[in-house]
Amino acid sequence: MKRILTGLKPTGDLTLGNYIGAIKQMIKMQDEYESYIFVADLHALTVPQKSEELKNRIRNFIAMYIACGIDPNKNVIYLQSDIEYIPCISWILECSTYYGEASRMIQFKEKSKENANFSVGLLTYPVLMASDILCVDTDYVPVGIDQKQHVELARDIAIRFNKKFGDTFKIPEPLISAAGTKIKDLKDPTKKMSKSEENPVGVISLFDDKEVIRKKIMSATTDSEMRVIFDEENKPGISNLINIVVSLTGKTVKDIETMFVGKNYGEFKKYVADIVVEKVGEIQEKYNKLINSKELDEILDKGAKKVRELALSKYAEMREKVGVVR
């Protein structure tokens, strides 16, 4: 069975965008692949965090994954920081990565512009990500398009290391979810719905209560026409709402367009809100049962044990190959 691995960074609350763009893809694939999914908590430290908030968010993330349908019996679920060999692997890989390569990453360029006092971690972030990927010998890495460049860097680093030190890493491939599943901000549908967004009116958090979700959808930006038609270029707001419905119901774009011929945007938004409220409500019900359970810790312990073994074995092999052994 082929292996897949993906991670989410616990900055901000998990959003409907993460659910549709990343988590749902993993749920679809969990029967066909040996699946690894983790919280990239060390990656969260690349930007300032409040420690108590971060701690809560890490636990919330794991409970939310499972509430969304990530099955602990079909996935290895773990915290990145529980695998102490990952930063060690990352150091060796950093020494096989060129400064020029790391500084060319689009995310680094954008984030380093936001704050003149950015950390070195922001630069080495993709190498840590390469360590996550390479330490488990994954075949595929399902991510959104924004992370593709980082997976490509992981490939380049692995190929270079293998060439210099002999076969050590499996070369991973990015699996980019199909176009149409990239969920946009409700207020500004030209940019992605992001959990790090400071102004959350356009972002549906999986933790929002029903009335808040309803309000956000009812005030989503649309256009001055009155036709519910999928046209991402000219009608990004309506198209985004259609994408949300299509992703959550399995209906087609055509179905939705036909259902709303001659109806106004208010009616369409109410329909979208009902669907999202129902889905998020179901997820929250499961989440509430899990969040304080012992089961959650048992799942994380089991995941950490498994990945620690893989990472230690990879690290030992790398130490031997580069010569940092007694």
Q: Which of 9, 182, 184, 192 is catalytic?
A: 192
155 with 172: CB under 8 angstroms? Answer: yes
Task: Measure the CA–CA gap between 201 and 178, rounded to whole angstroms.
Answer: 26
286 is catalytic: no
Q: How far is the CB of 294 from ligand TYM (least distance, A)?
A: 27
Q: Compose the 33-72 pattern: x for residues touching ligand TYM by CB under 6 A, - for all others.
A: -------x--x-----------------------------
15 with 206: CB under 8 angstroms? Answer: yes
Q: How far is the CB of 316 from ligand TYM (least distance, A)?
A: 22
17 contacts ligand TYM (rule: CB under 6 A): yes
Task: Measure the CA–CA gap between 147 and 116, rounded to whole angstroms.
Answer: 23
Task: Measure the CA–CA gap between 272 and 183, rounded to whole angstroms.
Answer: 14
**Binding residue for ligand TYM, selected from 75, 147, 239, 243, defined by CB under 6 A:** 147
Q: How far is the CB of 51 from ligand TYM (least distance, A)?
A: 19
Q: How far is the CB of 195 from ligand TYM (least distance, A)?
A: 7
Instruction: Take residue 173 and report the two structure tokens written for it.
Output: 């491939």
Task: Measure the CA–CA gap between 126 and 40, rounded to whole angstroms.
Answer: 12
The one segment of 2-10, 227-235, 291-299, 309-317 that binds ligand TYM by CB under 6 A: 2-10
**Binding residue for ligand TYM, selected from 4, 19, 21, 66, defined by CB under 6 A:** 21
Contacts 24+ apart (CB under 8 A), 98-105: 101/153, 101/156, 102/126, 102/127, 102/153, 105/149, 105/150, 105/153
> Given the complex with ligand TYM, which of 8 and 242 has the nearer CB atom?
8
Q: How far is the CB of 10 from ligand TYM (least distance, A)?
A: 8
Which DSSP letter does residue 145 get?
G
Q: Which residues contact 123 (CB under 8 A, 6 or more apart)?
A: 102, 103, 108, 112
203 contacts ligand TYM (rule: CB under 6 A): no
E strands, the chain, are: 3-8, 34-39, 75-79, 140-143, 173-176
192 is catalytic: yes
Q: Compose the 97-116 pattern: x for residues touching ligand TYM by CB under 6 A, - for all others.
A: --------------------
Start-to-end CA distance of the chain, whole Å, equals 37
CA proximity to 208, closest of 77, 12, 7, 11? 12
195 is catalytic: yes
Task: Measure the CA–CA gap between 148 and 174, rounded to whole angstroms.
Answer: 6
Q: Compose the 161-200 pattern: x for residues touching ligand TYM by CB under 6 A, - for all others.
A: ---------------------xx--------xxx------
Q: Which of 195, 269, 279, 314 is catalytic?
A: 195
Question: What does the binding site for ligand TYM look like in residue numbers (CB under 6 A)?
Answer: 5-9, 17-18, 21-22, 40, 43, 129, 132-133, 141, 143-144, 146-147, 182-183, 192-194
Active-site amino acid positions: 111, 192, 195
